[in-house]
Amino acid sequence: MDRKWVTMGDVARAAGVGKITVSRALRTPSKVSADTLEKVQKAVVALGYVRDETAGALSSQRSRVVGALVSTLEQPVFASTIRGLEEGLSAGGLQLLLGSTRYQPEKEALMVSTLLGRRPDALVLTSSDHTEDTRRLLSGAGLPVIELWELPETPIHAAVGFSNRAAGHDMARHLIASGRRAPVFLRTDRASDTRADMREKGYLDALEGHAPRIHSLPPREDQGGPDYGAEGLAQVLQRWPDTDAVICVSDALAVGALCEARRRGIDVPGALAVTGFGDIDVAGAAALDLTTIRIDGAAIGREAARLTLAACDGEDIRGRRIDLGYQLIRRATG
């Protein structure tokens, strides 16, 4: 299974030039004569040479790798973010080293340190809730850090996202304005899901005299699919039978809650409004037609890639907060 890799020296010998010339021919072709360039390119093809980027990283102190951490890949919106990020970065010649934290700050701390071991040129974090350890590591590392999906007051360096609080507020406001009297906020109770926390805060902001009703489902291994939402609605109705709206913290929960409501013969949206968050692709399908908040995940990723490339280019990105907003999509369920 083992084979020696072709090295730059091999290519140099084959092309009859010095190896530094090979390096230049590949990295900065403009600094090499057309003649030499061709010889080198021929030798590269003939030998099937692939440059060892790790060696290059060591000597140039630039790895051309960006570390990224997501809470989970299994929510399609995050997957879209990663796609946008990957596309943007690879266009700029950067590669993506990926990890997931599963909403656990301790896991994040571990992963950050693992990623730093690869000496990435930048770090992208899909979260803004970090342990003290993480913050210390990051501030000591001296590399650009970009936070996504939230807009903290004082980001570590820069952030790309939207206001979860405002979004939660708008949704609650919308329901109250259309006559709902007893809206419930349904969420999972993960220890550190700051996005859910902020949406909940927004919900509370919007109540204006209505009684706050927050129902938290205990965290589970799976990330909270529709089954969980169905269960959640059952609990909510038992706890507050007069509920007339359920604001779910995610579309997955909302789909479950909606189906459970229909199963029980509850009139949606007549007797009960159900709303989601994220606008996953099935949310708009006719059988569901869910009212929700649309987030453009891919755009967040693309914007993050733009910022990253700028930072790698030496630009100072500290303090930048890019708000990409959200959109309340009013459909049939509320």
Partner DNA sequence: GCGCCCTATGGTATCGATACCACCACTTGC
Partner DNA sequence: GCAAGTGGTGGTATCGATACCATAGGGCGC
216 and 248 in contact (C-beta within 8 Å)? no
- Does the CA dihedral 198-200-204-206 come out positive or negative? positive
Site size toward DNA, by CB under 7 A: 28
* Collapsed DSSP state (helix, strand, coil) of residue 333: coil
Which of 38, 42, 52, 235 lies at the binding interface for DNA (CB under 7 A)?
52
Q: Which does 236 bind (CB under 5 to 8 A by kind): DNA, its own copies, none?
A: none
Binding site for its own copies (CB under 8 A): 1-3, 5, 48, 50-55, 57-58, 63, 65, 72-74, 76, 79-80, 82-83, 86, 90, 95-100, 113-119, 136-137, 140-144, 225-227, 230, 252, 255-256, 258-260, 262-263, 281-282, 284-288, 316, 318
318 and 146 in contact (C-beta within 8 Å)? no
E strand intervals along the chain: 65-70, 95-100, 122-125, 145-148, 158-161, 183-188, 214-217, 245-248, 273-275, 292-294, 321-323, 327-329
Q: Which does 36 bind (CB under 5 to 8 A by kind): its own copies, DNA, none?
A: DNA
Beta bridge partners of 161: 323
Residues 252-311 that bind DNA (CB under 7 A): none
Residue 9 within binding range of DNA, rule CB under 7 A: yes
Stretch that binds DNA, among 15-23, 84-92, 184-192, 300-308 (CB under 7 A): 15-23
Pick between residue 7 and residue 192 the one whose CB is nearest to DNA. Answer: 7
Which of 1, 2, 3, 35 lies at the binding interface for DNA (CB under 7 A)?
35
Q: CA 236, CA 231: separation in Å to the nearest integer? A: 9
Residue 19 within binding range of DNA, rule CB under 7 A: yes
Q: CA 278, CA 78: separation in Å to the nearest integer? A: 10
Least separation in angstroms between CB 54 and its own copies: 5
Neighbours of 204 (CB within 10 A): 15
Q: CA 108, CA 243: separation in Å to the nearest integer? A: 37
* Collapsed DSSP state (helix, strand, coil) of residue 275: strand
Q: Which does 226 bind (CB under 5 to 8 A by kind): DNA, its own copies, none?
A: its own copies
- The one-letter amino acid code at 310 reads A
List the structure tokens of 265: 């013969």
Which of 38, 42, 46, 58 lies at the binding interface for DNA (CB under 7 A)?
58
Which of 17, 146, 304, 307 lies at the binding interface for DNA (CB under 7 A)?
17
List the structure tokens of 320: 């930048």
Pick between residue 17 and residue 158 the one whose CB is nearest to its own copies. Answer: 158
Least separation in angstroms between CB 268 and its own copies: 10
Least separation in angstroms between CB 25 and DNA: 8
Pick between residue 93 and residue 209 the one whose CB is nearest to its own copies. Answer: 93
Least separation in angstroms between CB 84 and its own copies: 11
Q: Which does 20 bind (CB under 5 to 8 A by kind): its own copies, DNA, none?
A: DNA
Q: Which does 106 bind (CB under 5 to 8 A by kind): DNA, its own copies, none?
A: none
Of 182, 323, 195, 296, whose CA–CA distance to 250 is shortest? 195
Pick between residue 242 and residue 313 the one whose CB is nearest to DNA. Answer: 313
Angle at which helix 164-177 crosses helix 194-206, to 10 degrees, equals: 40
Residue 217 phi, psi (nearest 5)? -90, 140
* Collapsed DSSP state (helix, strand, coil) of residue 272: coil
Residue ranges that bind DNA, judged by CB under 7 A: 4-5, 7-9, 17-21, 23-24, 26-27, 30-33, 35-36, 51-52, 55-56, 58-61
